[in-house]
Amino acid sequence: MQGAIDISKIRDLIDKLNYHTKLYDEGKPEISDQEWDDMYFKLVKLEQETNSYFEDSPTQRINYQVVNKLNKVEHSHPMLSLDKTKSIEAIKSFISGKDYIAMAKMDGLTCSLTYRGGRLVSAETRGNGIIGEDILYNALVVKNIPNKINFNDELIIDGEIICDYNTFKRFENDYKNPRNFASGSIRLLDSAECAMRGLSFVAWDVVSGFGQSCLSDKLIAAHNLGFTIVPIAPNVGNIDSDIEQVQLKCKALGYPIDGVVFKYDNIKEYVAAGRTDHHFKGGLAYKFYDDEYETTLKNIEFSMSRNGTLTPVVIFEPIEIEGTEVSRANLFNMTVMKQFLGHPWIGQKLWIYKANQIIPQVSRAEENDSRTKAYIEINHIQCPICGGDTYIEKLNDSEVLKCGNPSCEGKLVNRIDHFVSKKGLDIHGLSKATIEKLINWGWVNSIIDIFNLSQWKNEWIKKDGFGAKSVGNILESIRRSSTCNLESVIAGAGIPLIGRTVARDIARRFTTYDSFREAIKGDFDFSEIDGFGYEMNKSLKNFDYRELDNIVDIYLTIKEENTAQYVQQIGKIDLSGNTYCITGKLNHFKNRDELIAAIESHGGKVVSAMSKNVNFLINNDVNSTSAKNKKAIELGIPIISEQIMIDILDS
């Protein structure tokens, strides 16, 4: 620890000398020139002994630079992100008995530093993970980034450029938050101006350099060379305690953070976990909250669902979130819109986040006040499809806006589009645009008409944008869809609250359409099925099935659910000598490679393609429409769940 003590002394002397230099320049000295000189020469001696130098040291002459633009540079290593979760249980499952390190998830701009021969030779922003921006000229003036270190081999340190909360107080009236301030400041073209911003660098990874086998040891070595390292929790094996300890440390330091990162401490285990194009699998970030992005409201539009409900959609100035540009967010119903926006106006500030890093949503909005604004009228909305009057209907304690025109074309388009989509009968070629044309031509006035389109074939192939081949493909897809399963029929019907997953549960309970309809007509309570509630049961009972009954009776052949091949119990299955294929999402194994390794360690064989030589298909969804699932059913190959596979491995 002698090195760390020396570096601490160097930093202390630099800060004291700079403080007293400032007072001297202001004409308010607190120490004598002799005292200042004594500290200065003590600093010189320590710097020479440790070969460690900081750019804000009075022994160094800072050469400020001005550049015309930021040059793009390709990274020496992929600077990928980490997968994220807001679930403590997911973190515990990820750790699963492995040695780990819990560190603060710094809220700044990711940066990579490279040293060769003891000198800082490169500083790069993360960019897209492959190509970033050269910020060396500014990194040289960040006070806690060493310019020289006592280490001659190559050293690559990844970390975060941040602005702590105490420093940010000087700038908070002009900038949104410390993260945006740090990101913009480190990319200024004038390094003298950057130096005035008080930025810091916090290291959280050692990509190259040192011989230790664990990340925690490498970070300690980096600290001993003079780097500020990320706050780390004392590893006591308690996830909740780790998170709390990291938060307390960062609060004391004034560090902006938005979560806690959990990584496998053993570097070989971290690397062996692999990576995707987006993130490394050896780490998982626990997020305290979703990142918010400020924008302004441009308008409110309404989209129509298949049952005539008009859903408010906010249109805002485009912003980039999680690497994609977004400009729209769904507000679900009128109650939600009023809760978030009040009486909305053009230019109203909105804060947007991505729920689960996928779906843009409004988190909050600027509150109404008495100033005159360009308010958006929401009390007398007309249907955007047919122009008809709308009305408010109460549904589950929420107000929904509905079109009052029973002949609204928008309702028909959306009902048909839902029925023929992948959620329903999966009829290829019938896009919403094509359905609209078929309705405008007068050929389709109901879902039933879809099954009679062959009568218009000769006229259809002459229409712009179509031809004999495309029309023939659509008609063939309609013909094939006439043989389907019960799940597709129920899901495609458009019953409120009944999606594909719920339809699958119903199809497993009632294997024929007739038995399903008898249950609807009778006194069967669908709430008896796991996951069903009162509203679902009411929706199933109140739906108008007349059109669907006619379609099933005249046009469809519904196959009974083929669940008999799904292995429900272990029985006597010997892995040795058997061949397995895997498809679908895994719930228990971290990834497919881990499952493959488990099977092969017990003498089994895993192949990537289905064939008659496969003994078992591993799939958690027996009713999946995937090619492998269909092939297994076609060949009569048993399908076993992941849990059954685990039971086999443990038996």
Q: Do both 211 and 335 map to the same domain?
A: no
Query: How confident is the model at residue 64, as a pLDDT?
Result: 59
pLDDT band at 304 (very low <50, low <70, confident <90, very high): confident
Where residue 628 sits, what CATH number does that domain have?
3.40.50.10190
60 within some domain: no
- pLDDT > 90? residue 530: no
Q: Which residues are catalytic?
A: 105
Query: How confident is the model at residue 122, as a pLDDT?
Result: 93
Radius of gyration of the chain from its Cα atoms, rounded to whole angstroms: 32
Which element (helix H / strand E) includes 510? none
pLDDT band at 357 (very low <50, low <70, confident <90, very high): low
Query: How confident is the model at residue 57, as a pLDDT?
Result: 80
Domains in the chain, number:
6
- Determine the residue type at 7: I
Query: How confident is the model at residue 26, as a pLDDT?
Result: 58
Q: To which residue do tokens 């918010």 refer? A: 292
Query: How confident is the model at residue 325, as a pLDDT?
Result: 83
324 within some domain: yes
CA nearest neighbour of 161 among 129, 134, 187: 187
Q: Do both 395 and 474 map to the same domain?
A: no
* pTM for the structure as a whole: 0.47
Query: How confident is the model at residue 3, as a pLDDT?
Result: 58
65 within some domain: no
- Determine the residue type at 68: N
Q: Read off the tokens for 225.
A: 């060379």
- pLDDT > 80? residue 53: no
Q: Do both 139 and 264 map to the same domain?
A: yes
Strands of 616-618's sheet in order across: 566-567, 639-640, 616-618, 579-582, 605-607
Q: Do both 118 and 246 map to the same domain?
A: yes
Q: Percentage of the chain with pLDDT > 70?
A: 89
Cα–Cα dist 111/204, whole Å: 10
- pLDDT > 90? residue 298: yes
Counting DSSP H helices and E strands in the chain, the numbers are 23, 26
Query: How confident is the model at residue 472, as a pLDDT?
Result: 94
Helix, strand or coil, per DSSP, at residue 140 = coil
Alpha helix segments (H runs only) across 82-151: 88-95, 136-139
Query: How confident is the model at residue 32, as a pLDDT?
Result: 73
Q: Do both 417 and 398 map to the same domain?
A: no
Bridge pairing between strands 81-85 and 279-287? parallel
Which of 31-40, 83-92, 129-138, 187-196 ranks highest by mean pLDDT? 129-138
CA nearest neighbour of 215 among 98, 102, 112, 101: 101
59 within some domain: no
Region 143-171: mean pLDDT is 91
Q: Do both 277 and 162 map to the same domain?
A: yes
107 within some domain: yes
- Determine the residue type at 1: M
Cα–Cα dist 53/226, whole Å: 9
Q: Do both 507 and 371 map to the same domain?
A: no
Query: How confident is the model at residue 563, as a pLDDT?
Result: 44
Region 320-340: mean pLDDT is 84
64 within some domain: no
C-beta of residue 3 within 8 angstroms of C-beta of residue 50: yes
Q: Do both 267 and 188 map to the same domain?
A: yes
Where residue 40 sits, what CATH number does that domain have?
1.10.287
63 within some domain: no
Which element (helix H / strand E) includes 264? strand 257-264
C-beta of residue 14 within 8 angstroms of C-beta of residue 232: no
> To 5 degrees, how large is the angle CA 172–CA 173–CA 176?
60
Q: How many CB atoms lie within 10 A of CB 27?
A: 6
Q: Read off the tokens for 632.
A: 């297994």
333 within some domain: yes
Which of 380-389, 525-534, 624-633 ranks highest by mean pLDDT? 380-389
Q: Which residue has the higher pLDDT, 609 or 251?
A: 251
Query: How confident is the model at residue 4, as a pLDDT?
Result: 61
Where residue 421 sits, what CATH number does that domain have?
1.10.150.20
Region 291-305: mean pLDDT is 87
Query: How confident is the model at residue 114, as a pLDDT?
Result: 95
Cα–Cα dist 349/341, whole Å: 10
- pLDDT > 90? residue 67: no
| Structure confidence by residue, pLDDT tens digits, 592-622 | 877 887 887 777 888 888 888 888 888 887 6
Instruction: Convert 580-599 into a string of H (helix), E (strand) and C (coil).
Output: EEECCCCCCCCCHHHHHHHH
Residue ranges making up the domain that contains 209: 72-287
Region 416-434: mean pLDDT is 91
Q: Do both 107 and 244 map to the same domain?
A: yes
Q: Do both 135 and 161 map to the same domain?
A: yes
Helix axes 432-440, 409-420, angle to 10 degrees: 130
| Structure confidence by residue, pLDDT tens digits, 560-602 | 755 434 444 445 566 777 888 998 888 777 778 778 878 877 7
Helix axes 215-224, 2-25, angle to 10 degrees: 50
Q: Do both 543 and 452 map to the same domain?
A: no
Single residue among 559, 590, 607 that ends a domain in this structure? 559
**Positive or negative: CA dihedral 203, 205, 211, 213:** positive
CA nearest neighbour of 50 among 149, 147, 121: 149
Cα–Cα dist 507/512, whole Å: 8
Q: Percentage of the chain with pLDDT > 90?
A: 35
Single residue among 481, 498, 523 that ends a domain in this structure? 481
Single residue among 533, 559, 585 that ends a domain in this structure? 559
For the chain, report the end-to-end CA distance as a whole number of angstroms.
Answer: 51
- pLDDT > 70? residue 5: no
Q: How high does pLDDT run on average in the chain?
A: 84
Region 101-108: mean pLDDT is 93
Q: Do both 22 and 89 map to the same domain?
A: no
Region 152-173: mean pLDDT is 90
Cα–Cα dist 179/108, whole Å: 4
> Cα dist. 455→432, 450, 451 in Å?
21, 11, 10
Query: How confident is the model at residue 24, as a pLDDT?
Result: 59
Where residue 374 sits, what CATH number does that domain have?
2.40.50.140
Average the pLDDT over each of 132-141, 146-155, 341-350, 554-563 and give the range with the smallest value.
554-563
pLDDT band at 249 (very low <50, low <70, confident <90, very high): very high
Q: Which residue has the higher pLDDT, 440 or 371?
A: 440
pLDDT band at 461 (very low <50, low <70, confident <90, very high): very high
